[in-house]
A and B are shown apart, each in its own frame.
Chain A
């Protein structure tokens, strides 16, 4: 118990230097703006005074180290600056749009895990069969697919040709009202309110973008599951378990699969990196009101505070997700903590 607790504590402590590094890089990015950062942050319509005001508020007239201190202070207060285009604090806008992105990302990940993991297991248990071939095809094609292109093709086929998908414009058709805000996840909020019509409306909007992202993440998960299962199945403990006369199901799911799960969970960390990036593209294609499309809109009008706030919050989210994955490890892997230094 003690060793396990220490190991978990160590892992959390390891995230701190990474967090610091992420903050340093995003600080450097905000200061690397071409020309006068104050003028850039103040926006195109700024007057002399407002530029001067931004300069003092960002501390751009002070040395870089002092500026970094100020930046840290602002972050600690949750201040990511003001968006030039909307005049709102960046942090508020990000917070209000984050649930939309998270709902989409999680939906896609659950969808792709639900397909990719069984597919990988089947492919590994029946090497050379049609399932294995299908898996190989999906894996090779999946990594070559540009997400934005898949999204557009899906819109064309399911919206324009077949007419079974709703128009790719946002989270909810305008005939529905947004469900009362509890978590910000429309599926959960609508279910909580017992409004199943809105729930189906939200689901219908979610399916195509979710499918697009899922297709993209399918490949790495399926590939890793297949490889991990193959190596687990050829391991000595599986041979021993078979020799001991355990039922094939027990060997497959109780021993091989449980061990194969570890590398798969590790891969999820990398998949998150891809999926958070791909999210931006998918949100643009489907006009999804998440933080990705917020960043794209901000990029178009050179709204730097908004873009850098987005980059930083994505990085923080990613660090957090990796931490959760590693902590999940401690639950799955019974050896966790026993070999900790």
Chain B
């Protein structure tokens, strides 16, 4: 199945330039939702990059005269129990949430790729050991394992990133392992070896790039999941600490006011979180269409 993916993607990339571009444009036209998801992603990136300097209020500034105000022209998303502007906090939180998920996914991408590539290329006992270790990680309910790791390593944002990375590594390692394994003895691999390239070079420059298209799809789908995971961890009080603005913790704080009717405290950060995850999932589907037209659902 994954084999098919790459065989399709390679000719598209071989032609480069106009062909790929036309294909991307065609996918965007055919499925405007993908275009929308890229636009939303750009929006998220902008609020992460310049959010803190464009928000109307200081996200940490309390105001005792304006606590628990419903959304209004002055405070678009209302104010919380300390009079902090919810809109400013939601926008400022984008950076932290994106940093956590991107860092976690990048870490698992790198480590998963290296481990999977070595296991797939070498085979033998390295492969067996790695597969067993990955199976063991997957034998845990992943969110629960992340909780355990954060509890063991200590309650900090960095450890949230490590925990999220560790539970994601199996997905990347397995994918790369499968992609590398089927090309281990391919004609182009042998040609590259005969031309005098070292194993590392063949693996890194000749075989691994073939695994990139399906990996990109995986990254995009994973980013959404990583954000959910990180927000879930901070929702139960791990990692991010108040008063730092972060979506999960804001929903957790807002949850206390839901039963008394102050809905805006939890609703807006939750909506933003949902929007971010939705964006990444749509983008993943869109990327899959671009990478592999035949696997469209």
Which residues of A are in contact with B by a Cβ distance under 8 Å?
17-18, 21-22, 24-26, 29-30, 32-34, 140-141, 143-149, 152-153, 155-156, 159-160, 167-168, 227, 272-274, 276-278, 280-281, 284-285, 295-296, 299-300, 304, 307-308, 310-311, 314-315, 318-319, 322
Query: In whole angstroms, how far apart are the Cα atoms of A24 and B136 in the complex?
Result: 9
What 9 A-B pairs are tightest by C-beta distance, nearest first? Answer: A277-B143, A21-B136, A311-B148, A149-B270, A276-B141, A144-B278, A144-B277, A29-B152, A314-B144
Query: In whole angstroms, how far apart are the Cα atoms of A24 and B140 in the complex?
Result: 12
B52 within 8 A of A: no
A79: min CB distance to chain B, Å: 18
Residues in A with CB closer than 8 Å to B267 are 153, 156
Contacting pair B152 A30 (CB below 8 A): yes
Contacting pair A277 B144 (CB below 8 A): yes
| A-B Cβ contacts below 8 A, count | 155
B254: min CB distance to chain A, Å: 7
B133 within 8 A of A: yes
CB-CB under 8 A for A311 and B147, given A149-B251, A149-B266: yes
Nearest residue (CB) in A for B143 is: A277
Residues in B with CB closer than 8 Å to A34 are 153-154
Residues in A with CB closer than 8 Å to B142 are 273-274, 277
Contacting pair B274 A318 (CB below 8 A): no
Contacting pair A155 B259 (CB below 8 A): yes
- Residue picked from B141, B143, B260, B277, most chain A C-beta under 10 Å: B141
B262: min CB distance to chain A, Å: 10
- Residue picked from B135, B144, B259, most chain A C-beta under 10 Å: B144
Query: In whole angstroms, how far apart are the Cα atoms of A29 and B144 in the complex?
Result: 12
Residues in A with CB closer than 8 Å to B263 are 156, 160
Interface residues on B, range: 35 or more
Partner-binding segment picked from B177-185, B205-213, B229-237: B229-237
Contacting pair A315 B152 (CB below 8 A): no
B169: min CB distance to chain A, Å: 13
Which of B144, B232, B238 is the one whose CB lies under 8 Å from A148? B232
B91: min CB distance to chain A, Å: 18
Contacting pair A280 B281 (CB below 8 A): no
Contacting pair A272 B281 (CB below 8 A): no
Query: In whole angstroms, how far apart are the Cα atoms of A149 and B270 in the complex?
Result: 6
Query: In whole angstroms, how far apart are the Cα atoms of A300 and B241 in the complex?
Result: 12
Which of B138, B273, B278, B285 is the one whose CB lies under 8 Å from A149? B273
Contacting pair B151 A145 (CB below 8 A): no
Contacting pair A280 B270 (CB below 8 A): no
Contacting pair B259 A318 (CB below 8 A): no
Query: In whole angstroms, how far apart are the Cα atoms of A314 and B146 in the complex?
Result: 12
Within 8 A of A (CB), among B252-267: 252, 254-255, 258-261, 263, 266-267
Q: A21-B132, A25-B140 are in contact. List 7 more A-B contacts (CB 8 A).
A: A144-B281, A146-B228, A146-B231, A148-B251, A156-B258, A277-B143, A299-B236
Contacting pair A273 B259 (CB below 8 A): no
Could you mark each residue 119-141 of chain B with 1 if its beta carbon is under 8 Å from any beta carbon of chain A, else 0? 00000000000001101111111
Residues in B with CB closer than 8 Å to A272 are 141
Contacting pair A17 B237 (CB below 8 A): no
Query: In whole angstroms, how far apart are the Cα atoms of A22 and B148 in the complex?
Result: 12
Residues in B with CB closer than 8 Å to A277 are 141-144, 146, 232
Nearest residue (CB) in B for A270 is: B138
Residues in B with CB closer than 8 Å to A156 are 258, 263, 266-267
B145 within 8 A of A: yes
Query: In whole angstroms, how far apart are the Cα atoms of A322 and B139 in the complex?
Result: 9
Contacting pair B139 A18 (CB below 8 A): yes
Which residues of B are in contact with A by a Cβ distance under 8 Å?
132-133, 135-149, 151-154, 224, 228, 231-232, 235-238, 248, 251-252, 254-255, 258-261, 263, 266-267, 270, 273-274, 277-278, 281-282, 285, 297
Contacting pair B148 A318 (CB below 8 A): no
- 21 residue pairs of the A-B complex, CB under 8 angstroms, read A18-B135, A22-B139, A29-B152, A143-B281, A144-B277, A145-B277, A146-B270, A148-B251, A149-B273, A160-B258, A272-B141, A273-B142, A274-B143, A277-B142, A280-B143, A281-B232, A296-B236, A311-B147, A315-B144, A318-B140, A318-B141
Contacting pair B153 A32 (CB below 8 A): yes
Contacting pair B139 A318 (CB below 8 A): yes
Nearest residue (CB) in A for B235 is: A148
Query: In whole angstroms, how far apart are the Cα atoms of A140 and B151 in the complex?
Result: 32
A239: min CB distance to chain B, Å: 22
Query: In whole angstroms, how far apart are the Cα atoms of A296 and B143 in the complex?
Result: 13
CB-CB under 8 A for A168 and B259, given A30-B152, A315-B144: yes
CB-CB under 8 A for A144 and B132, given A152-B258, A155-B258, A315-B144: no
Residues in B with CB closer than 8 Å to A33 are 152
Contacting pair A276 B278 (CB below 8 A): no
Contacting pair B151 A21 (CB below 8 A): no
Contacting pair A152 B251 (CB below 8 A): yes
Residues in A with CB closer than 8 Å to B136 are 18, 21-22, 24-25
Residues in B with CB closer than 8 Å to A21 are 132-133, 135-136, 139
Nearest residue (CB) in A for B225 is: A143
Contacting pair A299 B151 (CB below 8 A): yes
